[in-house]
Amino acid sequence: MDFYQVIETRRSVRSYKPDPVPEEVLKKVLNAARIAPSGSNRQPWKFIIIKDEERKKKMVELCEGQSFVAEAPVLIVACGRNIHYNRGGWMGDYSMIVDVAIAVDHLTLAARAEGLGTCWIGSFDNEGIKKFLGIPEDVNVVALTPLGYPKNPDVFKPTSDRKELEEIICYEEWKD
């Protein structure tokens, strides 16, 4: 699949088939996250892969009742360790969030290229998930995504629900 087609047709999927994701496909998708760039190559991420049905059901509660997170055969919890590295000025501790977000974006695009659906979950109980999954104190959950084959493969289509390019760019300096 053409790279730009992957970008144009990636969508948030909220309904999944129960079909398992083959291990070799899962590894390809996870490897895309592994090779993502990070500031000073810190790679502050760790991904928890959840396949157990009971664990996924518990995660629904910790994701504000978003039941589709347990519908997919795989749930990925993307975590980041705050390494207190202030290179980059004001971003400081926030740079870990950016680094993990880049890795998750690589993962979601690789998933689309493999015909898999994802949905970036940003609404969750960080402390509850940390306790449930045994995540260390100096690590936080940045995002979660279910991963699986969409019930409706027609979900992968371009959208027109985006601002025009001219609305989001300016040259040389800020202009409204």
Domain assignment present for 173:
no
Residue 108 confidence (pLDDT) above 90: yes
Report the C-alpha gap between 97 and 38 in whole angstroms.
10
Comparing 90 with 13, the larger pLDDT belongs to: 13
E strand segments, 51-155: 74-81, 117-118, 139-148
Residue of 90 and 98 predicted with greater confidence: 98
CA 80 – CA 103 distance, rounded (Å):
11
If pLDDT is split at 50, 70 and 90, which confidence band does 94 have? confident
In the predicted structure, residue 167 carries a pLDDT above the cut 90: yes
Please report the beta strands in 17-138, taking only residues with DSSP state E, as ranges in sequence order: 45-50, 74-81, 117-118
In a domain, 176, yes or no: no
Kindly state whether residue 57 falls inside one of the protein's structural domains: yes
Q: Does 174 reside within a domain?
A: no
Residue 83 confidence (pLDDT): 77
Q: Which domain holds residue 22?
A: 3-168
pLDDT of residue 92: 73
Distance (Å, whole) CA 37 – CA 156? 26
Percent of the chain with pLDDT over 90: 86
- Residue ranges of alpha helices (H) inside 10-94 are 23-34, 53-62, 68-71
Total domain count, the chain = 1
Any domain includes 74: yes
Q: Residue 85's pLDDT is what?
A: 67
Q: What are phi and psi for residue 166, nearest 5 degrees?
A: -60, -20
DSSP letter assigned to residue 20: P
Mean pLDDT, the chain, rounded, equals: 94
Look at residue 148 and give its three-state secondary structure.
strand
Torsion of CA 138, 140, 33, 49, to 10 degrees: 100
Nearest to 73 by CA among 31, 34, 28, 23: 23
Model's pTM, two decimal places?
A: 0.94
pLDDT-wise least confident of 9-18, 69-78, 89-98: 89-98
Query: Per-residue pLDDT averaged across 150-162, rounded?
Result: 91
In a domain, 123, yes or no: yes
Q: Which amino acid is at 129?
A: I
Residue 86 pLDDT class (50, 70, 90 cuts): low
Q: How many CB atoms lie within 10 A of CB 74?
A: 21
Q: What is the CATH number of the domain that holds 84?
A: 3.40.109.10
Mapped onto helix, strand or coil, the DSSP state of residue 83 is coil
Residue 175 belongs to a domain: no
Query: How much is the average pLDDT of 73-89?
Result: 84
